[in-house]
Amino acid sequence: MFSSFYLPPFFFLMAGAIILPLLPKFLRSGSFILFPLLSLLVIWISPFGDLLTVGFAGYTLTVAHVDGLSRMFGTIFALITIIGGVYAYYLEDTGQQVAALLYAGGALGTVFAGDFLTLFIFWEIMAFSATYLIWARRTKESEGAGFRYVLVHLFGGGLLLSGILLHLSGGGSLELTQIIRDGSLSSRLILLGVALNAAVPPLHAWLADAYPKATVTGAVFLCAFTTKAAVYVLIRLFPGWEILIIAGAVMTLWGTIYALLSRDIREILAYSTISQVGYMVVGVGIGTQLALNGAVAHAFSHILYKSLLFMATGAVLYTTGTSKLDQLGGLAKYQRWIVGLYLVGAFSISGIPFLNGFISKSMIVSAAGYSHYEAAMFVLMLASMGTFLHTGLRLPYYTWFGANWGVRPKKEAPTCMIVGMGIAAFFCILFGIFPSLLYTWLPFDATYRPFTVPHLVEAVQTLGLTFVGFWLMKDRLAGEPAIPVDTDWFYRKTKPVFWAVFVRSVNFFFDTMEVKAIAFARSVAVLSKNPVRFFMHDESTDTTYSANRYRKPMSVILFVILVIFVVFAVRGTL
């Protein structure tokens, strides 16, 4: 039974995915933006609490739970869907539009879920809808990446579901609340399932594999939802788990190193995403009020500036047909608006003061220092230098300012792309200059002042040193034509073995069984046609079956019936 008449925020996105294909083509792009606008409105007029419950299999599912944490993540998910809709206004691919709405709806459903089962359902909706945004590019590479993406996430969903079922069978509650560090198998499986979506190494290779191969607009949505929804679940379930400090620190360095090795501009941003999510994971692991606020604020900021970066690099791919760093260069004079807006996102992610990355990243770094995690603090600062190096300097230099290798824009970027990037850049600047607009709504009770002299001096020194280092080594940072070996090597190299064991051998078994079954059925058919022949071995005898020849006399049948009747009658008198 529904507790009240309430339409949760994800309802409008799911309904939009159904309604959109029924609309005239000229109305679809505009209507796409309307649905997340309605969701955003509902998020902010909804009171806190369990607003929608439903009974299922003896359990009470909380389909919509609203509090400060879910409202923050719901707000940025709805906002980026609106911005992505503006950016993709030119798009006439209804399949991509529907998949994007389902994907956004799955993300909103995840952050407003109040129980494990509802969380899992929306978790899987995200996985399948995101896969289409990879396949929709319709290339051989995107087809393979899409299959790998969905298989990896099905595996992660299996881990999550297994953990949930074990949790329930052990007497745990279905309610989505903080999990105690008891070392149980259920909690470890749930953590692994969530860590896979957060792209924690070594469970991260799917991200760098899929994002660069998605469609131009699909990558914008991909970079916003899956990993940040996982960060939300980590904050909800695992705050203060110190193992996450180690995992997050590894993420920051792993993503930075591979971003420096990559040659595809969208692959650089994909690895950069792993690094930036690492900051959030560290914040969750620290678990203090300031660290958790930093994780929320950085997720909010990251979605804005990383979507902006993917929009800009997507515009390069759209206009030139390539995203390879060693094929680009000298595009600035053709794409002044694109490079200018890209730099807003690049400087934001690098933590330059008065942009939103500075006011969120420094919260986590400071929280690490206050909690005496000096090693983690050092790693975060080192990764920050690497971020400025690969995303703030290397990528824009070799794409727009370095030597031109003959690639020229083949067409202009649609105006809607520039407008979408402009909106994202506006928010990056707005929250960077007025951090209280973001800090006021953070869900945890902690105060922070980003614009202190030590923080500003530290940022200027770090960024200045990184710039000098880049300028001295810029001719060596273009990258060699090579494919960096990541953990996906293991499942790529073992593919023939797994294919032979789990596909080829299984197919052989069922093919063999099919042949045997058909042969057996054919034998039974022949036997039923002439059953007497089976008992007669004299080939000289005419064994052609004839019902009249082999039919028993009626007296035999009557005798058998009489015997049966007598037996039952005798048993009844005993």
Query: Are 304 and 410 within one domain?
Result: yes
Q: pLDDT by residue (tens digit) across 453-482?
A: 988 998 888 899 999 988 888 777 766 666
Distance CA 199, CA 201 (A): 6
Which residues are bridge partners to 64 per DSSP? 52
Query: Are 245 and 233 within one domain?
Result: no
Query: Are 232 and 245 within one domain?
Result: no
Q: What is the 3 state secondary structure string of 199-254?
A: CCCCCCHHHHHHHHHCCCCHHHHHHHHHHHHHHHHHHHHCCCCCHHHHHHHHHHHH
Query: Are 348 and 297 within one domain?
Result: yes
Residue 541 located in a structural domain: no
Query: Are 282 and 429 within one domain?
Result: yes
Instruction: Specify whether the CB–CB gap between 343 and 424 falls below 8 A.
Output: no
- DSSP, res 501: I
Count of C-beta atoms within a 10 Å radius of residue 68: 12
3-class SS of residue 507: helix
Single out the residue in 222, 238, 254 at which a domain terminates.
238
Q: Which of 97, 75, 106, 93 is nearest to 31 (CA)?
A: 97
pLDDT at residue 1, rounded to an integer: 40
Residue 410 located in a structural domain: yes
Lookup result for tokens 């009974």: 55
Instruction: Specify whether the CB–CB gap between 388 and 350 falls below 8 A.
Output: yes
Query: Are 135 and 174 within one domain?
Result: yes
Distance CA 531, CA 519 (A): 17
Single out the residue in 238, 254, 280 at which a domain terminates.
238
3-class SS of residue 267: helix
Per-residue pLDDT of the chain (574 residues; tens, 9 = 90+): 444 578 999 999 999 999 999 999 999 999 999 999 999 999 999 999 999 988 887 788 999 999 999 999 999 999 999 999 999 999 999 999 999 999 999 999 999 999 999 999 999 999 999 999 999 999 999 999 999 999 999 999 999 999 999 999 988 889 999 998 888 999 999 999 999 999 999 999 999 999 999 999 999 999 999 999 999 999 999 999 999 999 999 999 999 999 999 999 999 999 999 999 999 999 999 999 999 999 999 999 999 999 999 999 999 999 999 999 888 989 999 999 999 999 999 999 999 999 999 999 999 999 999 999 999 999 999 999 999 999 999 999 999 998 887 788 999 999 999 999 999 999 999 999 999 999 999 999 999 999 999 889 988 888 999 999 888 887 777 666 666 778 877 776 776 776 677 667 878 888 888 888 888 888 777 666 666 555 555 555 555 556 566 566 677 777 778 888 788 777 766 6
Number of domains in the chain: 3
Residue 490 located in a structural domain: no
Distance CA 102, CA 125 (A): 7
Distance CA 40, CA 257 (A): 37
Q: Which of 206, 188, 189 is nearest to 197 (CA)?
A: 206
Residue 484 located in a structural domain: no
Residue 488 located in a structural domain: no
Instruction: Specify whether the CB–CB gap between 438 and 62 falls below 8 A.
Output: no
Query: Are 161 and 178 within one domain?
Result: yes
Helix H or strand E encompassing 430? helix 415-433
Instruction: Specify whether the CB–CB gap between 122 and 161 falls below 8 A.
Output: no
Residue 304 located in a structural domain: yes
User: What are the Cα distances from residue 102, in Å, to 10, 80, 306, 314?
Assistant: 9, 14, 21, 22
pLDDT at residue 550, rounded to an integer: 56
Residue 538 located in a structural domain: no
Query: Are 209 and 247 within one domain?
Result: no
Residue 199 located in a structural domain: yes
Single out the residue in 218, 238, 258 at which a domain terminates.
238
Quick one: residue 183, left, alpha or beta (phi over 0 = left, psi -120 to 50 = alpha)? left
pLDDT at residue 573, rounded to an integer: 65
pLDDT at residue 2, rounded to an integer: 41
| Residue 223: domain span | 1-238
Distance CA 180, CA 21 (A): 45
pLDDT at residue 3, rounded to an integer: 46
Query: Are 277 and 212 within one domain?
Result: no
Give the pTM: 0.86
pLDDT at residue 34, rounded to an integer: 97
Q: What is the 3 state secondary structure string of 352-421?
A: CCCCHHHHHHHHHHHHHHHCCCHHHHHHHHHHHHHHHHHHHHHHHHHHHHCCCCCCCCCCCCCHHHHHHH
Tell me if the bond preceding 496 is cis, omega within 30° of 0: no
Query: Are 63 and 75 within one domain?
Result: yes
Query: Are 144 and 257 within one domain?
Result: no
Angle made by CA atoms 44, 234, 57, in degrees to the nearest 5: 80
pLDDT at residue 495, rounded to an integer: 67
Query: Are 424 and 352 within one domain?
Result: yes
